[in-house]
Structure 1
């Protein structure tokens, strides 16, 4: 199991410490998701987590620090939710469709991630950029491997990765956060068709 995110010098070494940190990060997600960064407070985070305020300072020095850790944690949660669902797919086109559906499902269960990530652009621009660039690198690596296997047509994996990520982000916003009027499988079927027609192997001229 992936350890919850914390500053490198404050990573808990015990199961109890990891549990407390998990409670704080989950509470922070609720607090920041509901109120936004500026209106959120450390005291409310600890109250939501059901821990003493001193426990907060065992892991974080400030509201900014817990917010940064939360963005990294959210990125890790998305990765850990999607990765096992695409791992068993027979080819990359199917994997991208399944990954899109998995992201939509995650977004519906964790609507607060959009507010948290959007605010990161202003609270901590470096972590905001890290969130997207690290995601794009993972997608690009998958696409590079798929090109080598002949499952997709040749092309820039970096450009395609950013395009796929943009599709997932906005489909998640519309069909995960703003409304749930379309089944994630159907959204991913239409999105997957678009991906396949744009990235499918081409017959030689």
Structure 2
């Protein structure tokens, strides 16, 4: 969950996504990606056809192949887009936030909001493990890379204990993913709200990572 913009990265042979050069092309491509996300999220990769995607997007079948060579290519674009949405939601929330622990609290709060808004995120990212394993791994590695960078900065500033880095970043990322799953997608009556979840998770970080 959590990434890197659309990326436009090529997948295996025959799974190529192209970057648009005009505003109209950007709109068409974005409509296809949004439609594909909805179809993949609702039906899964294998039960979704390209015609399902173009029909939902209101785009001619021929236009699909202007941007994507295959269903695999647009699936990869969807994974990258989902990952980018997480990144783009978190980054602005960190601007001006002082303190390593406060930044992690802000990042978690922003992530939980993304999960509530993009409720198909987990299904798509989980399916990517089997459909596009490299895209699945890239999603998590780029996410964890940003967390690790923040944690190292906190350690360098003397706010977190020495040596904090990648291992702790993976632990934080895992915590965030499962908190989103349990307290957003599986939320029920009587469960703590997002503010309490963030506060309690941040206390765990403070006692586990703080000096």
TM range (shorter): over 0.9
Distance in 2, Cα, partners of 1:6 & 1:179: 35
Higher share in helix: 1
Aligned to 1:96: 104
Instruction: Within 5 Å, give how 1:1-205 maps onto structure 2.
Output: 4-7=6-9, 10-179=18-187, 181-201=191-211
Distance in 2, Cα, partners of 1:3 & 1:76: 4
| Structure 2 unaligned regions, length at least 5 | 11-16
Which segment drifts farther, 176-185 or 54-63? 176-185
1:111 Cα shift?
1.1
Runs of 4+ in 1 over 6 A off after TM superposition: none
For 2:69, what is the secondary structure of its paired residue?
A: coil
For 1:10, what is the secondary structure of its paired residue?
A: coil
Q: After superposition, what is the alpha-carbon deviation per residue over 1:117-152, rounded to whole angstroms, capped at 9, x for unaligned?
A: 000010011111111111111111111111111111
Q: After superposition, what is the alpha-carbon deviation per residue over 1:89-118, rounded to whole angstroms, capped at 9, x for unaligned?
A: 111100101111111111011110100000
| Structure 1 unaligned regions, length at least 5 | none
Could you tell me whether the CA contact under 8 Å between 2:5 and 2:81 is conserved in 1? Answer: no
Taking structure 1 as reference, are residues 51 and 5 closer, same or farther at Cα in structure 2, changes over 3 Å only?
A: farther
What is the CA RMSD across the aligned residues, in angstroms?
A: 1.6
Could you tell me whether the CA contact under 8 Å between 2:112 and 2:184 is conserved in 1? Answer: yes
Taking structure 1 as reference, are residues 58 and 5 closer, same or farther at Cα in structure 2, changes over 3 Å only?
A: farther
